[in-house]
């Protein structure tokens, strides 16, 4: 275990109102970290705050604070809000039950939460120790000054304000949200010399005010890497979903100079999933954001560069080099490329939807909006796993959740375990044979027109929230003229290129394409963007790893 600065005076504090749980957490922490850190435990938020104040007066350092969510008088989030003022540099963990994970996700923005752990945490070797070790490593790497937070001032029903919040949340950038009507928001606007007519306003930790920033400017200002450190790599991975992250982890860990390029945020569609329950090795399920963040940290630890908010617009073959072109005119080259661009949710073509996107209408899970759905009626269009996962997540706080499904049942496109959960949820209903005809509202969504497929009968319902999951379209138009795609735009590779046993017409090597290799030698595809892929997280990660193996084979023979 790495040594901590001043180990005898550095503290890990845990607080839980259940004495048995409190002792068990402290016992497990002492067993693994006791030689280098002092473990302090408390059985209430108030006593824990007293302990922190005493430690502060003595000049002790506090590295990690673990707080139970459900504590009487002062819950874990309320405690952590006050603990930040005393030890702003301490890493923060919330201990929570499965039923409270929505509160834990909200706490990411409220108290800059670093992690949440589901109880029970057995075995600690798998669930507790790796998390605390990562947080201790992060704490040791900081200068322990107060944590500066990005501030976002926006309008509740502003599409761009919603996009900015989603961008920051998915990239794990701590921020605090201020509705433009709040007094504090007006003070921030005045300080920035703005009258509120142009929103959102983003104030970065160094005090820079950004008015209606684009993603690239926002990423650069909040500390995300946007520019490659070199001009040439062994491997460029385009896309940061499960396939791209898998490729980055395996590429970097096996010694390839690897850079991953992502246009928005790592995780792709999977990163927006509220709960993935059928991914190998996570019997209690895992959120897409948790899985993504672990994979991103893993790739970075092995040395992969991760670039955010970089839109790729083209691919060129320049002799042995494969050059990826960016929208700003710059480029990066490599010996090989893995295309892991994934897919995006298709836009629903119904009157009124386009103008209300981001103002009550959302494509994908939009987890940052979930807390605002508390006590409201929510509608979801779609019948596949992503729609089912969103329904179960939103049902925790919504008054009701209604799934609108064109087909006769969910079983044709949704995993059995999700169908069962939906059937058992008292506030989730399914309307089969139903399509969305139109959306209505001025500044935000107010009503929906629904149509019964069989009878043609229409119905007007009140609705403020609509989430759409209606299939996926590949993000591959920028490959036109370079990489072969099927009729739907998915990338063809390996056997799909050689159905008769002969390589493509422009193939100039004396071997057929490898299994995940496109018609351009040295350019591979992995994950959902591949024609006839399985469209599952596990298969995408596997293809990312397999593509790296084939990259090695290609490089050895080049």
In the predicted model, is pLDDT for residue 7 greater than 50?
A: no
DSSP secondary-structure letter at 90?
S
Span 397-415, average pLDDT = 94
Could you give the 3-state DSSP secondary structure of residue 496?
helix
The residues pairing with 462 across neighbouring beta strands, listed in sequence order, are 447
Can you read off the two tokens belonging to residue 16?
A: 């839980």
DSSP string, 31-79: HHHTTTSEEEEESSHHHHHHHHHHHHHHT-EEEEEEEES--SSS-HHHH
Q: Which of 89-98, 112-121, 366-375 has the highest mean pLDDT?
A: 89-98
What whole-number distance in Å separates Cα of residue 121 and Cα of residue 135? 16
What whole-number distance in Å separates Cα of residue 394 and Cα of residue 274? 9
Q: Tell me which CATH code domain 232-344+474-557 carries.
A: 3.50.50.60
Give the per-residue pLDDT at 5.
39
Q: What percent of the chain has pLDDT over 70?
A: 94
Asked whether the beta carbons of 337 and 524 are under 8 A apart, the reply is yes
In the predicted model, is pLDDT for residue 282 greater than 90?
A: no
Nearest CA to 308 among 164, 167, 163?
Answer: 167
What whole-number distance in Å separates Cα of residue 554 and Cα of residue 512? 12
Give the per-residue pLDDT at 382.
94
Nearest CA to 242 among 474, 523, 539, 552?
Answer: 539
Q: Which of 68-72, 179-183, 402-406 has the highest mean pLDDT?
A: 402-406
Q: Where are the beta strands (DSSP E) in 198-246?
A: 201-203, 209-211, 232-238
Span 188-207, average pLDDT = 90
Nearest CA to 537 among 411, 366, 385?
Answer: 385
Asked whether the beta carbons of 33 and 39 are under 8 A apart, the reply is yes
What whole-number distance in Å separates Cα of residue 474 and Cα of residue 9? 54
- Block residue for tokens 């520019």: 227
Could you give the 3-state DSSP secondary structure of residue 159?
helix
Can you read off the two tokens belonging to residue 239?
A: 């896309």
pTM metric for this prediction: 0.73
What whole-number distance in Å separates Cα of residue 537 and Cα of residue 554? 26
Predicted confidence band at 367 (pLDDT cuts at 50, 70, 90)?
low
In the predicted model, is pLDDT for residue 516 greater than 80?
A: yes
Q: 323 CB contacts (<8 Å, ≥6 apart)?
A: 315, 316, 317, 331, 332, 333
Helix axes 385-394, 416-424, angle to 10 degrees: 30
User: 36-89 pLDDT, tens per residue?
Assistant: 999 999 999 999 999 998 888 677 899 999 999 888 888 888 898 888 878 888
Give the per-residue pLDDT at 144.
58
What whole-number distance in Å separates Cα of residue 495 and Cα of residue 23? 58
83: burial class by Cβ within 10 Å (0-12, 13-18, 19+)?
buried
Fold entry, domain 7-141: Rossmann fold (3.40.50)
Q: 34 CB contacts (<8 Å, ≥6 apart)?
A: none
Domain 353-470 class in CATH: alpha beta
What whole-number distance in Å separates Cα of residue 382 and Cα of residue 102? 22
Q: Which of 7-11, 378-382, 454-458 has the lowest mean pLDDT?
A: 7-11
- CATH superfamily of the 150-221 domain: Glutaredoxin (3.40.30.10)
Mean pLDDT of all residues belonging to the chain:
89
Q: Would you kindly state where each structural domain of the chain is located, as residue ranges?
A: 7-141, 150-221, 232-344+474-557, 353-470
Q: 191 CB contacts (<8 Å, ≥6 apart)?
A: none
Topology match between the domains 7-141 and 232-344+474-557: no
DSSP secondary-structure letter at 204?
-
Give the per-residue pLDDT at 109.
58
Q: Does residue 200 have a cis bond before it (omega within 30 degrees)?
A: yes
């Amino acid at each position: 275990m790495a040594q901590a600065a001043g180990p005898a005076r550095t503290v890990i504090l845990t607080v839980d109102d259940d004495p048995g749980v409190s002792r068990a957490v402290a016992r497990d922490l002492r067993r693994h970290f006791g030689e280098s850190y002092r473990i302090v435990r408390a059985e209430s938020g108030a006593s824990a705050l007293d302990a922190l104040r005493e430690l502060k007066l003595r000049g002790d350092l506090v590295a990690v604070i673990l707080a139970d969510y459900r504590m009487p008088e002062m819950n874990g989030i309320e405690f952590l809000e006050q603990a930040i003022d005393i030890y702003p540099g301490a890493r923060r963990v919330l201990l929570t039950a499965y039923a409270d994970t929505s509160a834990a996700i909200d706490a990411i923005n409220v108290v800059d939460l670093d992690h949440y752990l589901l109880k029970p945490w057995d075995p600690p070797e798998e669930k507790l120790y790796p998390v605390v070790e990562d947080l201790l490593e992060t704490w040791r790497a900081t200068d322990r000054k107060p944590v500066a937070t990005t501030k976002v001032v926006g309008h509740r029903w502003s599409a761009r304000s919603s996009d900015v919040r989603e961008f920051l949340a998915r990239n794990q950038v701590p921020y605090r949200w201020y509705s433009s009507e709040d007094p504090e928001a007006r003070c921030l606007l005045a300080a920035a010399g703005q009258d509120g007519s142009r929103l959102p306003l983003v104030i970065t930790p160094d005090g820079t005010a950004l008015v209606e920033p684009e993603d690239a400017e926002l990423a650069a200002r909040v500390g995300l890497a946007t520019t490659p450190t070199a001009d040439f790599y062994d491997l460029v991975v385009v896309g940061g979903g499960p396939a791209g992250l898998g490729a980055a982890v395996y590429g970097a860990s096996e010694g390839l100079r690897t850079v991953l390029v992502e246009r928005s945020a790592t995780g792709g569609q999977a990163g927006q999933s509220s709960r993935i329950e059928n991914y190998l090795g996570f019997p209690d399920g895992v959120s897409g954001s948790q899985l993504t963040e672990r994979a991103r940290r893993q790739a970075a630890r092995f040395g992969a560069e991760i670039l955010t908010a970089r839109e790729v617009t083209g691919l060129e073959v320049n002799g042995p080099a494969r050059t990826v072109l960016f929208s700003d005119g710059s480029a990066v080259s490599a010996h090989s490329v893995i295309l892991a661009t994934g897919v995006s949710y298709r836009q629903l073509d119904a009157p009124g939807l386009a103008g209300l996107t981001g103002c009550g209408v959302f494509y994908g899970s939009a987890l940052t909006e979930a807390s605002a759905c508390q006590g409201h009626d929510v509608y979801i269009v779609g019948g596949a796993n992503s729609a089912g996962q969103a329904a179960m997540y939103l049902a925790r706080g919504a008054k009701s959740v209604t799934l609108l499904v064109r087909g006769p049942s969910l079983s044709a496109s949704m995993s059995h375990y999700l169908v069962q959960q939906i059937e058992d949820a008292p506030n989730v209903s399914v309307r089969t044979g139903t399509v969305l005809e139109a959306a209505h509202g001025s500044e935000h969504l107010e009503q929906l027109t629904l149509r019964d497929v069989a009878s043609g009968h229409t119905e007007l319902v009140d609705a403020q929230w609509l989430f759409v999951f209606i299939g996926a379209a590949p993000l591959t138009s920028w490959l036109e003229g370079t990489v072969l795609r099927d009729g739907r735009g998915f990338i063809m590779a390996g056997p799909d290129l050689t159905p008769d046993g002969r390589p493509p017409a422009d193939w100039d090597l004396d071997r057929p394409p490898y299994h995940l290799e496109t018609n351009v030698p040295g350019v591979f595809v992995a994950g959902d963007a591949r024609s006839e892929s399985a469209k599952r997280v596990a298969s995408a990660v596997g293809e990312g790893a397999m593509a790296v193996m084939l990259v090695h084979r290609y490089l050895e023979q080049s």
